[in-house]
Structure 1
Amino acid sequence: MGVPTEQPGSPMRVFTTHGTVLNVDPTTGELRHGSPAISPPNARLVFDGPRAQIMHVVLTTLHPIACSTNHSWSIVGPLGAGTAPTSTVLEVVRLDGGQIALKALGAFLSAESDGRITLSRTECGAWERFTLREADVAKQLKIAAVTMVYNERVFLPIWRRHYGRAVGEENLFVLDHGSDDGSTNNLGRANTVRVPRDKFDEYQRSAFVSRFQASLLCYYDAVIFSDVDEILIPDPALFAGLVDFVGRQCDQFVTALGVEVQHLQNVEPDINLSRPILSQRRYVRFAADYCKPLISRIPLTWDPGFHSCQYPQLVNRNLFLFHLKAMDRNLALENLRKTRSIQWSESSLGRGHGAQFRLREDEFIKRMFPYSLEEINASLVGDFDFSDDLSRLRIDRANTYQSFKGGFAIVPDRFLNMIDALVPASVPARPGVRTADSGRPWTSRSGRDLDLGKHLVVADIGAAGGLQQSWSKVEDRIVAVMFEPNPAKAVELGTSSNRFADVVVIQSALGEAPGISTLYLTKSSGCSSMRLPNRTFLDRYSVRPAFDIMSNINVEVKTYFELFLAGEVPPPDVIKIDTQGTEFEIIKGFGDLLSGCLGLQLEAHLYPIYEKQRLFHDLVMLLDGFGLVLRKISPVDHFDGDVVELDAWFTVRQERIAQLDVASKWKLSVICSEWGLTEQVRQFPPSTDW
């Protein structure tokens, strides 16, 4: 996220704002852009003052790139021979949100839809905007998230769940300003810092948080601060999450684009805290107040309210701050009654700080919930694009930011499951101490009540053919939950597993949000998927005909979490996923049930054999956020000897094993034995040498 040093020889990888990366085709020498997963890291932008050149890295040598209106290529490459004797020197144009444009001879460098890189555009659009990443940022960034609270029974669990998944719960810091309602008790691995309760003062709060953030930067690469009702989400179409987003920024700090989540009382019911928030609240409005600088790699001195800091700001259009204060009228009024009871310092009252927290209820409702659906539809912006509002926005030092509301927008589908529901009381909160649901009954299909503490719940997603593992040593204690969207295969499952204590067959696909999706049935049934095959990649291999689509059917998609809430499935002890490209979305659909899971097996890919699929490293990082770590991998040879596909096994982290109760330790030992995993033990004893 550091600003380019603009020193000669400082090499940076160049990414488009759509997530592809510039690279040189080794066979043709042409500069192109493509998926980071399959693109060689052999193109670098090297600065020389305010100008730069794209260079082709060949071993330890840098060869310049020549750019034209139709193609760009390495001068050392075959296309360059005798065609472009000189390289192209580019002017670096700094844009908002840490992005840049590259310009020469009056034209902007552009990433074409067919993969070419051209010097051909007179205007700077989305495909002419780039971000830079240092060559050595492959390491996992360590990021802390901080909030300050007082009696936040609703928003703190949402905040903890969201940021805990993003950066790891052990990296959360909750500054507790005297809570007495129990909301800050039992926060798992999150760090709680008790702050004395006194009269509320915005200057005191911003100064304290600024110094706390600076201290954390001694140990962390970056720090996020947000109020407890502020949820930061990088565009999921471009980034795998907050860590991925931070790693791909050029600026030392990032200002989010703020939107206010709206509750349309006439058409939307009260919020259901057992369901994802944005799936129930589809309308948001641009809010200049919430365009805040909240992610930083350098110490910031925030002004009261955290709306501005000591540096000039540019809003990053790919990072959204969803403000949840007005997501529900009744909850907002409950919160208002709390804030009106707070004693404010004389200095804050004199400056008018927090006046919105002391409004009368009628004034508050008029300000926060004045809109009808007709009014909103009349001022909708398209494609979640707030460019007009951003053009009005100026943020200066000394808290002279503009406070205005802008256009309304409908939340795109890709965001709908990004702010999860609260954790139901029956689900252990991450990471927690697993209790194996001791004594909790599960009614089997035969009508027997089974004690889940004495049974192993195996969830098999993509279960055609039955459970892959035999579980022969404990088959009479297995509760098998099998998912298969193919109707014919699902019928077979219902009669094939009578040896288990119970079998639940769900004729449905799983995902991260409920709905209807298309299942593409291929020549080889094992290649069928809800994603289209990636023909460009598959054409390399003899297995390609197996992916030919023969037909397709519409299938219902559910989440495991919603099925659990409905009482249709028990919480899983072990999960197996083999769904050809949709593993990431399925895992997210388990919600915090994953926090109680002891083991997970899946088939994954190092290269995208399906369009828009998440790859193996994305799955590893997602599962790590739930305390599940990689224990074993085994390549699957379907691709002419290339390692493209693999099976992977995950179990709970070692430090969590000591917290397991007796029943859960038995279950974990059964899982490890079935999978051929050794006991998790520390290989290196403590030493004073390191």
Structure 2
Amino acid sequence: MRDGLLSKRLTDLAGALAPARPLSIVDVGANPLHDPPYAPLADAGLAHLVGFEPQAEAYAALTEDAPDHAQFINAAVGPAGTGTLHVYPRQSGLASLFQLRQRTLQYLRRFQALPDQATHHPVTLDSLDALHDVPAIDLLKLDVQGAELDVIRGARGKLAQATAVIVELRYFPLYENEPTFADVHSELTDQGFSMHKMLDHNRFAVGSRHIDALNRRRVRSQLIDGDAVYIRNLDGIDHADTDALITLALLSAGAWTSHDLTLRCLEILEDRGRVPAQAAQTYIADLPSDLRRAGAA
């Protein structure tokens, strides 16, 4: 069960914003290893989800008792054509259209046996722009282990009006010949998005014959990757379309908890007479007490 304060906050916010439709979220690489960041919005009935997952077991887990607001597709996304999905035993989160990079595994002294145990599956690829069943996108979430750049390039049409992208950026190469985080960042900025925040970072311990003397949970120095939030037209927010502000306010509150950005959206919408005058104060009152200054309503 989600946090009660969060549920109330989203319910009150949606009541004030009165969005014309549910948010449209597309998740490419929807393997359910962890709750996705947009889960609170989906649970509150504020979003419709289309998820892509090429691995059979992960797809089966997604479709078992799938809620009405979610549609899952057992397919890979990328440049039109064919590819090979490399799947690693007991490490489904590493499945990729790219093969694991041996030099990285040797450096980390981690996952070194996986390449020899991998299974390889031919897949047909289509871009998001070519998939007519995929609606216009408000939020694109990507976790495709190296294929992020191809997916983003193949979604220029559908991303043209999108509000945000949550993407895994790779800082140290984990796969052979995968694009760098700089390549992905450059493509997103070229499409009009700006980086807003990092949601997390993944670090691994650097391998050595002495590593077992250390607490690996505390000593993990090598930065590998992390999820980043990119948002369209942040520096033009004061002049943004009203519907775009409503979408951004909901996503900021329910997908990546940028309360300050949600309040900026509410401020603009209050000035336009689009939401009740007390909408921002209600939002502040719904926040946990440690996020509010003493005496704030």
TM-score, length-normalised on structure 2? Answer: 0.69
Residue aligning to 2:289: none
* Partner-residue secondary structure (3-state), 2:122: strand
Q: Is residue 228 of structure 2 the alignment partner of residue 664 of structure 1?
A: no
Q: Which has the higher strand share?
A: 1
Q: 1:546 Cα shift?
A: 6.9
Residue aligning to 2:277: none
Q: Is residue 57 of structure 2 the alignment partner of residue 492 of structure 1?
A: no
Instruction: Let me know the Cα RMSD of the aligned residues.
Output: 2.2
Which of 140, 164, 178 pairs up with 1:575?
A: 140
Residue aligning to 1:506: 73
Residue aligning to 1:93: none
* Partner-residue secondary structure (3-state), 1:658: helix
Q: Is residue 126 of structure 2 the alignment partner of residue 554 of structure 1?
A: no
Q: 1:470 Cα shift?
A: 4.9
d(CA) in 2 for partners of 1:545, 1:673: 40
Structure 1: tracts of 5 or more residues without a match: 1-451, 682-690
* Partner-residue secondary structure (3-state), 1:644: strand
d(CA) in 2 for partners of 1:613, 1:560: 20
Q: Which amino acid aligns with 1:554?
A: P
Q: Is the 8 A contact 2:102 2:112 kept in 1?
A: no
* Partner-residue secondary structure (3-state), 2:107: coil
Which of 21, 27, 37 pairs up with 1:454?
A: 21
Q: 1:453 Cα shift?
A: 4.3
Deviations 1:481-535 (Å, cap 9, x if unpaired)?
A: 100011232232223431x5x3221211111x21121111113111111101110
d(CA) in 1 for partners of 2:74, 2:236: 34
* Partner-residue secondary structure (3-state), 2:248: helix
Aligned length: 224
Residue aligning to 1:518: 84
Q: Is the 8 A contact 1:460 1:467 kept in 2?
A: no
Where does 1:84-95 land on structure 2 (aligned, <5 Å)? none
Q: Is residue 261 of structure 2 the alignment partner of residue 679 of structure 1?
A: yes
Q: Which has the higher helix share?
A: 2
Q: Which amino acid aligns with 1:679?
A: L
Structure 2: tracts of 5 or more residues without a match: 1-18, 206-219, 265-297
d(CA) in 2 for partners of 1:599, 1:453: 18
Deviations 1:82-135 (Å, cap 9, x if unpaired)?
A: xxxxxxxxxxxxxxxxxxxxxxxxxxxxxxxxxxxxxxxxxxxxxxxxxxxxxx
Q: Which amino acid aligns with 2:153?
A: K
Q: Is the 8 A contact 2:29 2:51 kept in 1?
A: yes
**Which structure's CA Rg is the greater one?**
1
Q: Is the 8 A contact 1:454 1:663 kept in 2?
A: no
Deviations 1:214-239 (Å, cap 9, x if unpaired)?
A: xxxxxxxxxxxxxxxxxxxxxxxxxx
Q: Is the 8 A contact 1:638 1:645 kept in 2?
A: no
Which of 129, 151, 167 pairs up with 1:586?
A: 151
Residue aligning to 2:36: 468
d(CA) in 2 for partners of 1:546, 1:597: 40
d(CA) in 2 for partners of 1:473, 1:505: 17
Where does 1:519-668 land on structure 2 (aligned, <5 Å)? 519-523=85-89, 524-545=91-112, 547-548=114-115, 549-563=117-131, 566=132, 568-633=133-198, 634-639=200-205, 640-668=220-248
d(CA) in 2 for partners of 1:457, 1:662: 17
d(CA) in 1 for partners of 2:142, 2:204: 18
Q: Could you say which structure has the greater relative contact order, defined with CA pairs below 8 angstroms and 6 or more residues apart?
A: 2
Q: 1:557 Cα shift?
A: 0.9
Q: Which amino acid aligns with 2:102?
A: R
Where does 1:92-107 land on structure 2 (aligned, <5 Å)? none
d(CA) in 2 for partners of 1:611, 1:574: 28
Q: Is the 8 A contact 1:484 1:508 kept in 2?
A: yes
Where does 1:283-302 land on structure 2 (aligned, <5 Å)? none
Q: Is the 8 A contact 2:41 2:47 kept in 1?
A: no
Q: Structure 1 residues 473, 603: closer, same or farther in 2, change over 3 A?
A: closer
* Partner-residue secondary structure (3-state), 2:48: strand
Deviations 1:591-631 (Å, cap 9, x if unpaired)?
A: 22212111111112112211111111111111001111111
Q: 1:547 Cα shift?
A: 4.1
d(CA) in 2 for partners of 1:470, 1:626: 22
d(CA) in 2 for partners of 1:669, 1:587: 23
Q: Which amino acid aligns with 1:645?
A: D
Q: Which amino acid aligns with 2:126?
A: K
* Partner-residue secondary structure (3-state), 1:557: strand
Residue aligning to 2:283: none
Q: Structure 1 residues 547, 574: closer, same or farther in 2, change over 3 A?
A: farther
TM-score, length-normalised on structure 1? Answer: 0.31
d(CA) in 1 for partners of 2:164, 2:222: 28
